[in-house]
Structure 1
Amino acid sequence: MKKAFLVSVASLLLMGVCSCSTVENVKEPTEYALKEDCFLCGDRGLLSLYQDGVAVLNLNTFEVYTLKMEEGSGNTDSINSNGENRTTVEVRTNSERKISHITLRVKDDSKPDPEEMSQILCKNCSDSIMKNNTYDVSFIDLSKKELIPLREEVKEFYVGDYVVYQSCKSEDNTMEYLVFYASENQS
């Protein structure tokens, strides 16, 4: 009797362990920032603090790494890591010569993340970034709030008084750029 009871309890337990139940993983729809609050196209974004020039922009966190060369500021170096398996941005500026050297070290997960961007971007800006950008960083024309995606085939481009030149072939997930301040002569 005891043996029959134990066998029936064991079989009930096994049925409970073996029974499969399906749980649907329902993903909440992404909520985006309102257009007027959008960091890129809205009026209240931090980009309005920057007047002109070119910068490197983290597309997920929207950290701005300015490349403006201010008189008398000497040489500056900064290294910014955006998390494990994300792009590392190294900026070395020589203000006396008006040159910045940018090294971007991209990783496997160095991609735009719509979930992160939705907190500070409207849907249109987020969709545009996802469509046009391969990496989680981009150059930005600060006066026009226009993104300039990183592309292998684009070796140089102009942003206002700045020239951005891809200084060497991308290797080992590293891209290097030189940025020159090259204003037109006023004479």
Structure 2
Amino acid sequence: MGLVTIGQALLAADRELASTYRDAKLILREEANTGRTSFDIFLSHSKIDEKYVLGAKRILEEKGFTIYVDWINDQQLDRSNVNKNTADYLRTRMKQCKLLFYLHTENASVSKWCPWELGFFNGHSGSAERTFIFPLVFTGEKFTGQEYLELYPIVDIDNVGKESSFRKDVWGYFPSTEREWRQISSILDRI
């Protein structure tokens, strides 16, 4: 098992782009407003990491999960005018998701929204096994994040880049409590 690398996320984004001969923004726009009201995973991220987000989303979808990304699924949200209504809307969307994956990058670590989403989802779900850190790392690098991120299990994915709908390839590692591995699919089955 291993953490997903930045290179793997970029390759996944490139697979998506190459398979459709479109750019990232066009692909993301086309996926917007599907009318879906429930998802397996809310992908918390920094908007600056657009291509990483596209890659992470593709990797998870290749494993058979449904993914919510705010600016993909709800393009009507105005990031230049964030207010109480925006927060209320995101709360509603988080409640429609079974799990939250916090896509950890350098940009996410300085985001104001990512920690808010992480905290809200963790508090709302009432379960430590529904909120995960999904770190993107450089090849050979270990994940080290801010101290508070150590409270959450870490996402680990086997066979990245191999198209399959093997939900069994996606794991959560719980280092702070049991120091054990659990399949994300079995966690979803219990929700």
Q: Greater RCO between the two (CA within 8 Å, min separation 6)?
A: 2
Of Structure 1 and Structure 2, the greater strand share is in 1
Of Structure 1 and Structure 2, the greater helix share is in 2
* TM-score, L = length of structure 2: 0.25
Larger Rg: 1
* TM-score, L = length of structure 1: 0.25
